[in-house]
Structure 1
């Protein structure tokens, strides 16, 4: 498979609330600061779109929908998008079955599911369009240690049980001059299937120099740890357990006032910020070439050693048909995604996501326009 370097790939990750009811936006007014007048969205096609999937992008989707409604109201048109944050797997299943117009997913649709989607797309391919990105924190509770530094190898050894104490020599070597306690490490992990778990384990595979050998997947494979359900659950568990650590979307770490480790990817410690997360994926690779499917080569993000790059970033996709929609559905899907990829990004940072840079908006918009 050929990999194509993108000069500037970035986005926004999803750290949203876990509401389970299908919903469109309840707010028909675009958020403050959004310029709706310059939108390239046509507001054409059917009025009501349906989608389901990733709960991680739920808050971003609410922002996209409210902005899109306002854009189209300005053009005298009534629209809505009902998005059910039912989980990535369910979203892909409903998309394949033709029950929804597009799916949100923490993982690209591929292999057997991609083949199944060809029937739904009337022979067309299912495309993965990365629209929402966000950083994942190594959030910890360690009294007196505010600027902990970890790397891929030490993180892997913590989460597979090889490193058991906070003052382990491998951690101490990354934290020179820091008084680390002789205290047991408690790893808190997701007890439920999770795209965050899958991405975290893929990061460990790519960055740990072989220390992580148990593979990836939506279920935690490290064989240790105390389980907690959902992003809110693991963050709350760490907040109440001195000596503990977890992997969680950064918004949950901030909500629970948890410390977040810096990551040393080989070029020095890097703090988690919008800017450092964006830099990590600016040079990311795609698994294909040209306009169309934009599936990411996540190893090129997770394994980066570029200075100032924070590599632990979650990407979520919108899964669409490249061909096979009826004319009204195609027009509406293209119109909504055009708005989401552009003016819809304006206020994402306030909700814990990282907005798409201009260079990536252009590439994404080219693929959206190519939907037949």
Structure 2
């Protein structure tokens, strides 16, 4: 990859987003009734499907304020988004798994300088289930690991029953649903299991599902649909996109915690930055082992990745403007309202905005 890759015409991204419904975009532009207001042009990005609800809200809000702008976001998954950005096809990417060291180096080649990686929001990953007559389900990380590792295969297994005294668990096979595509949600989910229950989940933190068990489904919406359409199923997904399904209460210390934006945000307070990163990289190592029962530990920190410099001023202004809106107060509230995420703390948001403010044309 050479440093001129972003000078290409973004044809791959345009082709990829052609089939995506732009209803939200059109509605926002119609509401503005002023194509001359603010920034103008087309901005193509893509990545984490878990960001889809937030991206829809962000695009609508940004386009309302910038009547001549169109933002396209292709929810191809975190892996696809990072690959699209590193190949020069996307001007920005959304990812639920921060860049690897190798990707950090490749991003520098793509951009010509260190890339910007800033958190967009933190959101709980719900362990979702469809179990008739069961309105409350408590599971330990060890049991969750055994279920997704196909070591526990029946809903009335003694290890599940012991955590759910008085709950009528069916004598039924468990259908464990996982992502079939490369996924930052999978990476965060398996990273949690690796840190807290390594003996029950021995496969490590991975983006691509490592074993042939259960049911694979594409994207966040695919996992949610598979669990919803198949009784006795369990899966994992961004909590905001699975509101009609049961959410497991996960054991933390001596208690059990249900997913919520507030409980997910607690993790960031006790977590540290990834070491050895450029100053423009805000990647965070989450502390999954917390025993604070007010914190929900199965979370994803969703990031936006962009260049510090772009070949032309229009692209630079659009990326800078859009990311500024996303990380700013209005964008964070829009994500909270529409995606159930926890807004960034003032300190994190201010730091991210300083990096975004440095985006410019070469």
TM-score tier after normalising by the smaller chain length = 0.7 to 0.9
1:369 corresponding residue in structure 2: 357
Quote how far apart the aligned CAs of 1:68 are: 1.9
Quote how far apart the aligned CAs of 1:176 are: 3.2
Aligned partner (choices 278, 301, 322) of residue 315 of structure 1:
301
1:51 corresponding residue in structure 2: 45
Closer, same or farther in 2 for the Cα pair 1:241/1:86, shift >3 Å?
A: closer
Structure with more of its chain in helix, by fraction? 2
Alignment partner of 1:128 is 2:112: no
2:90 corresponding residue in structure 1: 100
1:26 corresponding residue in structure 2: 26
Aligned to 1:27, what secondary structure does the other structure show? helix
1:11 corresponding residue in structure 2: none
Is this contact kept in 2: 1:149–1:269, CA < 8 A? yes
1:35 corresponding residue in structure 2: none
1:6 corresponding residue in structure 2: none
Aligned to 1:215, what secondary structure does the other structure show? coil
Deviation >4 Å, runs of 4+:
288-291, 323-328
Is this contact kept in 2: 1:22–1:84, CA < 8 A? no
Higher relative contact order (CA 8 A, sep 6+): 1
Closer, same or farther in 2 for the Cα pair 1:19/1:61, shift >3 Å?
A: farther
What pairs with 1:284-299 in structure 2 (closer than 5 Å)?
A: 284-288=271-275, 292-298=280-286
With the length of structure 2 as denominator, give the TM-score of the two structures.
0.81
Post-superposition CA distance 1:124-179 (Å, at most 9, x none): 11222121432222111223322111121110011112222323332233223434
Q: Which moved more, 1:261-270 or 1:225-234?
A: 225-234
Q: Which moved more, 1:229-238 or 1:136-145?
A: 229-238
With the length of structure 1 as denominator, give the TM-score of the two structures.
0.79
Quote how far apart the aligned CAs of 1:291 are: 5.0
RMSD: 3.0
1:67 corresponding residue in structure 2: 61
Is this contact kept in 1: 2:257–2:295, CA < 8 A? yes
Closer, same or farther in 2 for the Cα pair 1:291/1:237, shift >3 Å?
A: same
Closer, same or farther in 2 for the Cα pair 1:83/1:351, shift >3 Å?
A: same
1:36 corresponding residue in structure 2: none
Aligned partner (choices 291, 295, 303) of residue 305 of structure 1:
291
Alignment partner of 1:83 is 2:73: yes
Closer, same or farther in 2 for the Cα pair 1:329/1:128, shift >3 Å?
A: same
1:14 corresponding residue in structure 2: none
CA separation in 2, counterparts of 1:349 and 1:109? 24
1:194 corresponding residue in structure 2: 183
2:99 corresponding residue in structure 1: 109
CA separation in 2, counterparts of 1:125 and 1:162? 44
Is this contact kept in 2: 1:280–1:306, CA < 8 A? no
Post-superposition CA distance 1:97-117 (Å, at most 9, x none): 333322222322233332222
CA separation in 2, counterparts of 1:142 and 1:59? 26
Is this contact kept in 2: 1:121–1:325, CA < 8 A? no
Quote how far apart the aligned CAs of 1:186 are: 2.5
Give the count of matched residue pairs: 335
CA separation in 1, counterparts of 2:91 and 2:332? 21
CA separation in 2, counterparts of 1:82 and 1:232? 18
